Amino acid sequence: MHRQLRTALATAAAAALTGGLLVVTASTATAVTPSGTRGDFNGDGYRDIAVTAPLATVNGKSGAGSVSILYGSKSGAGAAKIQTVSQDSAGVPGTAEKNDMFGGTVSAGDFNGDGYADLAVGANGEDVGSDVNGGSVTILWGASGGLSGGTNVKDPSAGSHDLFGLLVAAGDYNGDGTADLAIGSDQNTVDIYRGGFTKTGGTGGHYAVTAPVQKVPGPDFYNLTPGDVNHDGRTDLVVDGYETDSQEGWNANFYLPGSASGLTSTGAQKLPAGIISDIGDVNGDGYGDIVIGAHWDKDVPGSHKGGVVKVVYGTQAGPDGGQDSVNQDSPGVPGTGETADDFGYELSLGDVNGDGKDDLVVGAPGEDLNGIADAGMVTVLYGSTGGFASTGAQSFAQDSPGVPGDNEKGDGFGEEVYLADTNNDGKADLTVGIPHENNGDGYLVTFNSDGTKLAATGKGYGLTATKVSAAGTPLLGFGMAG
């Protein structure tokens, strides 16, 4: 399952470079999009959600991968239009090939400054000439009719690494008002492309930043999370990997600040462990707070049985405003911390109730419910001036009234979660990915905000609605951006 794959990556990633499956979930963090409507690919004023199926079969090629766009509308994501794009779509560079994993990671930003959001798509399994698993990144261009055509981002050092496009993260790292793109591969160096992208392959320049993580066999990074922590108008980046300052070499996150010259490792700060993180203003003080999900039961420092979410509060000086933690044994949080719940396996921040404070959705895909193993559950925690409130939390599972589907063994409801305002009412709505539904087919459930909380009634979308092939295990709902 996805959980097992990602846990394996966090402990022994080298196997992926010898032909094993390598899929790393991109953070659900909302990247800074300096121009245009954030995540609005067709410019109609509604935010759209890109959903990946990285192992989708395309024209008979297993594992080629595809990306489905649930376009926003008055009724929410996917209600009016769904579009699915692959490397066999018109105008998209390349060809769908076995195990390309197009859609392994995605990130949205207006890369060419035309007012439409574009989508960066990683295909880390792409063979580039004789370079097996060299990887590629394609920008799909936004337009009035939706995403149309694409352009490859040039790998600055092809052949010297693998898995280019393993991670992608859009943001304005130098604060010049144009969207930049950070790309990770199997190295401990982040490639940054400055804004000014063109459909002929041009960019505003390139530089690289080495992060303070261990170099290990296989990928050195497991996540990149963009957001403005210190409220200086420049995107900062949280990088996840292995620490270098202890003999054990535990997982850790590192804060890299943006600057006038771009992203820098100067002033880097070590943060708690946890593969998935997001950045938003939880307490309404104007600074970006970093939430980190540590889904492990034990061993890793700071772990809690069933999983835990750490909160690192932002200030003008960066992430040094103190820390909190929340788990299923915290007051007001639904459930109880149990072995392998995976609480914090996925996270997303957004303002569901419109009070100016970001709320948090936490996926616990390993939650056992009514004797059904790994059925999965999603928890919603609401932001307040003191952090996450101890009252008013919500929880959803597939046996909750109004939620499509049923609790089934191994579904892992909540393996992916994403908050974004898709009906343009000023309040965040929720999309839940269930990539292991129906033995790896995958499924999506959307919930709209009712103005004060998430409405209990969800709407489901599967392979038929997205026109993704049912062959193999496409894992629809594996990753999201918008």
Q: Tokens in use for 358?
A: 């970001």
- Residue 345: which region, alpha, beta or left (left: phi > 0; alpha: psi -120 to 50)? alpha
What is the structure's pLDDT at 25?
Answer: 39
- Determine the Cα–Cα distance for residues 164 and 150; give it in Å rounded to an integer: 17
What is the structure's pLDDT at 12?
Answer: 29
Task: Inform me whether the pLDDT recorded for 4 exceeds 70.
Answer: no
What is the structure's pLDDT at 160?
Answer: 87
Residue 217: pLDDT band (50, 70, 90) is confident
Residue 431: pLDDT band (50, 70, 90) is very high
Lowest mean pLDDT among 93-97, 163-167, 245-249: 245-249
Render pLDDT for 257-310 as a digit per residue (tens, 0 to 9).
999 999 999 999 999 999 999 999 999 999 999 999 999 999 999 999 999 999
Q: Is the CB of residue 402 less than 8 Å from the CB of residue 394?
A: no
Convert 239-257 to b/e letters by CB count within 10 Å (16 or more is b). Answer: bbbbbeeeeeebbbbbbbb
DSSP designation for 8: H
Render pLDDT for 99-118 as a digit per residue (tens, 0 to 9).
999 999 999 999 999 999 99
The H or E element containing residue 6 is helix 2-12
Q: Is the CB of residue 98 less than 8 Å from the CB of residue 77?
A: no
Q: What residues are paired with 151 via a beta bridge?
A: 139
Residue 309: partners with Cβ closer than 8 Å, 6 or more residues away: 274, 291, 292, 293, 294, 325, 326, 327, 343, 344, 347, 360, 362
Render pLDDT for 138-160 as a digit per residue (tens, 0 to 9).
999 999 999 999 999 999 988 88
Q: Is the CB of residue 23 less than 8 Å from the CB of residue 448?
A: no
Q: Tokens in use for 455?
A: 């409405």
Q: What is the pTM of this model?
A: 0.94
Which strands, in side-by-side order, build the sheet including 454-461?
416-420, 429-433, 444-449, 454-461
